[in-house]
Amino acid sequence: MAKIKEKEKAIKLRKRGLSYSEILKQIPVAKSTLSLWLRSVGLSKKQKQRLTDKKLASMKRGWEAQRRKRILITEKIKKQARKEIGNLSNRDLWFIGIALYWGEGHKERHKGSLVQLGNSDPYLIKVFLLWLKKNLNIAKEDIVFRIFLHENSKNNLNQVKKYWSDITEFPIDCFERITWKKNKVNTKRKNIGECYFGLLRVVVKRSTNLNRKIQGWIEGIYKRCGVVQW
């Protein structure tokens, strides 16, 4: 008798548009039993939409909870990793700069090349400039810049110049050299809008031989490391 009353109540609740989880809170039966009772109960379009919206809201809450968890885990890992770096010596910075140039710097071609590095990462640019100053003794007046920017950012040019001026701590008039890049109609780039500041190229004047020296440092690191065996 009790089961019959529970079934009748479940059907009434379902006809009101309640979800299975909402009904189970009032009627503590197995979900398989509830499904069997309600399989022939139809819902209106409005009721179906409510359940769909409720399900989506639940999924969004789950996604948000996972996002917060991911952020906390990421920050914990990064915090520990930052501690592991410790203090950096001048020699440490020298090696960092060489490795950075190895990966991102302009290499010598047949007729030589100036020391130059282009990137959109502001922290990478800061470290490179510090390396030039502290390890290579490059004077401020021997450094020039070029900004590479997409054409649809012309209206933000002053903002872009100020951004790179703040990052490098060089006067804003040092950023007059601009190379405009053509825009693709169906671009998949994510670095667009107000947070897009293009790519900054740092160039050292009269530095062809210095570039050759950097290549020698790179070769020295490679030869000292030898072939890696896995």
For residue 185, what pLDDT band results from cuts at 50, 70 and 90? very low
- For 198, counting Cβ atoms within 10 Å of its Cβ (0-12 exposed, 13-18 middle, 19+ buried), the class is buried
Amino acid (one-letter) located at 227: V
Q: What is the average per-residue pLDDT within 17-21?
A: 81
Give the whole-angstrom CA distance, residue 184 versus residue 194. Answer: 18
List of residues 6+ apart from 153 with CB closer than 8 A: 160, 196, 198
Domain ranges of the chain: 90-225
- Choice between 72 and 226, residue whose per-residue pLDDT is larger: 72
Q: Find out whether 23 and 10 touch, Cβ atoms under 8 Å.
A: yes
Note the pLDDT tens digit of each residue in 77-110.
999 999 999 999 999 999 999 999 999 999 877 6
Q: How many other CB atoms are there within 10 angstroms of residue 106's CB atom?
A: 16
For position 115, what pLDDT does the model report?
A: 97
For position 216, what pLDDT does the model report?
A: 95
The answer to which of 38-52, 61-75, 201-215 has the lowest mean pLDDT is 38-52
